[in-house]
Chain A
Amino acid sequence: MEARDDDEMATAGAQLLMAAGNGSSGPTMDVALKIWRFDSETGERELKQYEVEAPEWSCLLDVLDIVKDRVDGTLSYRKSCRMMICGSCGMRMDGAAVLACKERMKPIVDAGHVPVISAMGNLPILKDLVVDMGPFWDKFKAMKPWLQPGFDEPADGKEYRVSQERMNVIHKEALCINCGCCVSECNSMESDPEFLGPQALAKGMRFVGDARDGATVERLEEYNSEHGIWDCTRCYFCNERCPKGVDPRDAIAKLGAESIKHGIDRDMGAKHAKWFVKSAETTGWLRETELVPKTQGIVSSIKEMKFAMGLARKGKVPPPFPPHVADRVEESRKLRELTKTQGRDGALGIVQGERGLARIEHTDRGGARRDVPETDPTEPPVLRDLS
């Protein structure tokens, strides 16, 4: 290293600062946001608009920081890493949960959109953009989320020998950072607040799919409860919102596959699913009429008689005989037989497709989201008393 004079050093320092992104230099833009403020001490809710100048590379979190620092220090939100790994900054932008540190603001500003920022859904709001994560962590803990090793402990006191391929079964579930974005948008949980939900169930799959865990059957029994696997409505909001690519819906489907593989199939949801399989391997087409009794049982079906008659009158209950059989259905039957022998049963049938799906390029949907009406997010969307 050679000594250099002060001028060069100062230049280098300034260069470093310019690129350092401390907000004091570089191109800026004017950003406007609306934020739902909520004061739990007074119960007051208010939609407030803020306009600030922010660096062009800013994400939503950076803009919130500027608002809090320079405009309104009472604004509260969680943050820490600002690099999409700690999971602190989950919040809604235009009614859809995101990580604030991940959302670039420039495309939104360029589109002339003023986003509405609010707290995540399905969880009680403590203040402004801060939710009470208590119920979230309770469900996490309900999964018994720790390894319960099987009998084969490593003899030499070292590591369990597990192939990379076998570990890859839970590669996606292991990515979860517990941010809550999936839970925020879960349609099923909105209707049934006790639903274990995408985050907890994905964590459950993390263990069910881990070769070292010996409690698979006990876990699956537990996750097959009333508010478990089969409570998922398959809306795919969780897959859509997850900022890490965990795909919780797929984790839930893997749990379903493993449950049925292990013969844990007493739930109506499991019976419903198995009837589709039966249909495909016998007649090819869904045997709709028998679906109700096969799912719900005879007794329940009899209770449904009036409803069923209403459907039947409109021709929606085709007679089961003669069955509607697909052309060359024996091909389907033979394919079923083949899949039984090729070692891709249970969750592996879903895992096998992940390699190909990972290669699809994510299209950048940067830009404004839909215009949500300025409704108060702390009010439930509809009055739902179905008792």
Chain B
Amino acid sequence: MEAKHDVLIVGAGCAGMRAAIEAHDAGADVAIISKIHPVRSHSGAAEGGINAALGNASDDDPEKHAYDTVKGSDYLGDQDAIQVLCDEAPGDVYELENWGAVFSRTEDGRIAQRPFGAAGEPRTAYAADITGHVLIQVLYEQLVKRDILVYEEYFAWRLVVDDDRCQGVISWDLVNGGLHAIGAKTVILATGGAGRLYAGTTNAYACTGDGMTMALQAGVALKDMEMMQFHPTTLSPSGVLITEGCRGEGAYLLNADGERFLKRYAPNAMELASRDVISRAEQTEIDEGRGVDGSVLLDLRHLGAERILERLHGTRELSMTFALVDPIHDPIPVRPGSHYHMGGVDTDVWGLTSLEGLYAAGEVACVSVHGANRLGGNALMETITYGKRSGRHAAEWALSNTTVTVPPSAVSDAERDLRTLLDRTDGERPWRIRDELATTMHENFGVFRRESQMQQQGEIVAGLRERYERVLVEDKGNVFNTDLTQALELGFLLDLADCMVVCGLARKESRGAHARPYDYPDRDDENFLRHTLVTWNGEGPVLDWRPVTMTKWQPQVRSY
């Protein structure tokens, strides 16, 4: 084993970097492992904004924010975790601004806030439509200021567990080749989501659920895995994200008849209803033949060129480059695509998992702040608030606890497994398995789910995992072997798909993003006001349940 740190963070997106900054400021020796350079992290692709009850656009307070979040979660969110987020959000956003984040401004020079989906007040602080990019930049600047060590382009593969404690991470050095064991008193997983499970996704290639599977294999439970959010406005056909901010600025969603169809699904909130509601509405319109080439239309024309150029410049660029459509003149073709994973590594309100020394924060975690459906703007807020909290908690714990042991077997086991993979000269190239996984997940575990298809998907995944045992890596070299790392990423995805299907079948109701209109069309609070929990028994997922933490709000009928 080589290096040892107090706090080792896997992933350098908003959550990872925020955690690192906090842990550093708390006096810990911090390092980050990231398989891509920090600024390449997918947090940077977030567009619309970050939610906090600043009260700059209207009378707002954390209580309202919390209520909107609870309702938005279809009452599956843990209310204590939600309260923490909403209470701390304003201070955390001011801190980002004080560090230099380039927010858009109100008339009187304050942080501007726009209306967003399912929010009672306009509380989404934004930077044009590149909020994620702006936050990634400011966090990286603060990282550089503190000269925090980054193991750049190191692919984290396994957690080291010894003596019932997480002791570090085993990773592959992508630039030079070779496995490294990096010991740490605490490890914070901040690896983001797993959108790449689906064919149509807003997610980057890098979003392959790495941390979730690493935690799962280390004996930690994953929570609410069936809850994958389908964002209603992903560009056709590429899947890239078209921000909810468009709708926040007043854009309309139209079907083939030019009708604002949401009046039939969410007559009050219309285009600013909750994401799951809108995705279902769109899917229904498309399925019933009122779509245009498998999409619906997002119309920005009435906003005017000036406003589009000033506030939605990025959106226009994406639309013109990938769909050859200029939103100033034509509506943008959009449709639902996998976007955000509400589920993930089970943690408490400090980001701590059931494994001593292991934390998780951001999209990889499930506290749960988002329950069965996430509000736009809450994900970025979660990365900051919970990144900070886990960073602080991990630092404090590490500074008052002793040594690290990485048993040699952890490294040699990993090396042996890697050798097996690399030495194989005959087998199936990963892309086939990967593409089949993605298309079948899209077909059988998408916006609308039914028993028979989910069962079928379980079998398909089992078949794919068998084929994965014979996956072939062509590149046998040491330098920048992305053929290898992409094969390892596929392995992560397969384990997660398994878990998702098991949980999806077990939840016999429709709640939030989990929609079963054919067999269980209604929400069932009596039986299912609880989280799914999966652990891995060496062969496959084992299911359990945990009740939702409720403090103030009882489940109501949820309509927009």
Contacts and interface: CB of A to CB of B under 8 A. Distances in A.
Asked if A and B touch directly (CB within 8 angstroms), the answer is yes
Contacts of B450: 9
B293 to A, nearest CB: 6
B109 to A, nearest CB: 4
A21 B237 contact: yes
Contacts of B335: 16, 19
A163 interface: yes
A178 interface: yes
A146 B105 contact: no
Interface string B91-129: 100100111101111101111100000000000000100
A127 B479 contact: yes
B294 A16 contact: yes
B431 A70 contact: yes
A3 B517 contact: yes
Contact of B199 (A17, A127, A154): A17
A159 B295 contact: no
B521 A3 contact: yes
A18 B237 CA distance: 9
Contact of A19 (B294, B429, B430, B483): B294
Nearest to A213: B100
Contacts of B291: 15
Contacts of B415: none
Which of A21, A70, A86, A102 counts the most B-chain CB atoms under 10 A from its CB? A86
Contacts of B178: none
B199 A162 contact: no
A210 interface: yes
A16 B479 contact: no
A384 interface: no
Interface string A80-104: 1111111110000000000000101
B348 interface: no
Contact of B40 (A3, A20, A86, A157): A86
Contacts of B533: none
A149 B518 CA distance: 58
A210 B100 CA distance: 8
Contacts of A78: 36, 40
Nearest to A163: B109
Interface string A12-37: 11111111111110100000000000
B474 A79 contact: no
Interface stretch (B200-208, B218-226, B535-543): B200-208
Interface in B305-348: 309, 314, 317-318, 321-322, 335
A175 interface: yes
A77 B206 CA distance: 13
Contacts of B240: 82-83
A234 interface: no
Contacts of A145: 141, 144
Which of B106, B127, B133, B435 counts the most A-chain CB atoms under 10 A from its CB? B133
A78 B152 CA distance: 13
B200 A16 contact: yes
Given A23-B435, A85-B133, A76 B42 contact: no
B300 interface: no
Interface residues of B, number: 89
Contact of A149 (B98, B204, B239, B322): B98
A157 B475 CA distance: 54
A170 interface: yes
Contacts of A22: 199-200, 435, 438-439
B442 A17 contact: yes
Interface in B430-480: 430-431, 435, 438-439, 442-443, 446, 448, 450, 473-475, 477-480
B286 interface: yes
Given A12-B283, A20-B199, A73 B475 contact: yes
Contacts of B475: 73-74, 76
A87 to B, nearest CB: 6
Contacts of B287: 4, 8-9, 11-12
B204 A174 contact: no
Give the interface residue-count category, chain A: 35 or more
A236 to B, nearest CB: 21
A213 B431 CA distance: 48
A161 interface: yes
A19 B94 contact: no
Contacts of A217: none
Given A19-B293, A146-B145, A57 B237 contact: yes
A82 B204 contact: yes
Contact of B142 (A57, A77, A146, A210): A146
B108 A161 contact: yes
Nearest to A161: B109
A167 interface: yes
Contacts of A8: 287
A163 B105 contact: yes
Interface in A142-170: 145-147, 149, 153-154, 157-164, 167, 170
B85 interface: no
Contacts of B141: 145-147
Contacts of B127: 174
A69 B431 contact: yes
Contacts of A79: 205
B137 to A, nearest CB: 7
Given A19-B294, A84-B317, A162 B237 contact: no
A339 interface: no
Interface string A35-53: 0000111000000000000
A14 B444 CA distance: 11
B67 to A, nearest CB: 23
A21 B321 contact: no
B233 interface: no
A86 B39 contact: yes
B405 interface: no
A177 interface: yes
A178 B37 CA distance: 10
B238 interface: yes
A43 to B, nearest CB: 12
B286 A15 contact: yes
Which of A11, A80, A82, A145 counts the most B-chain CB atoms under 10 A from its CB? A80
B145 A12 contact: no
B517 A24 contact: no
A13 B443 contact: yes
A85 B199 contact: no
Contacts of A39: 477, 479
Nearest to B474: A73
A24 B45 contact: no
B130 interface: yes
A76 B100 contact: no
Given A40-B479, A128-B480, 10 more contacts: A12-B287, A15-B291, A16-B442, A20-B200, A21-B238, A74-B477, A76-B479, A85-B44, A146-B100, A146-B142
Nearest 4 pairs between A and B by C-beta?
A: A73-B474, A147-B100, A161-B109, A21-B237
29 contacts: A1-B517, A2-B517, A3-B518, A13-B446, A15-B294, A20-B199, A21-B200, A21-B239, A23-B435, A73-B483, A80-B40, A86-B40, A86-B42, A86-B45, A126-B175, A126-B480, A127-B477, A146-B144, A147-B98, A158-B54, A159-B98, A161-B108, A161-B110, A162-B105, A167-B102, A174-B134, A177-B44, A212-B100, A359-B309
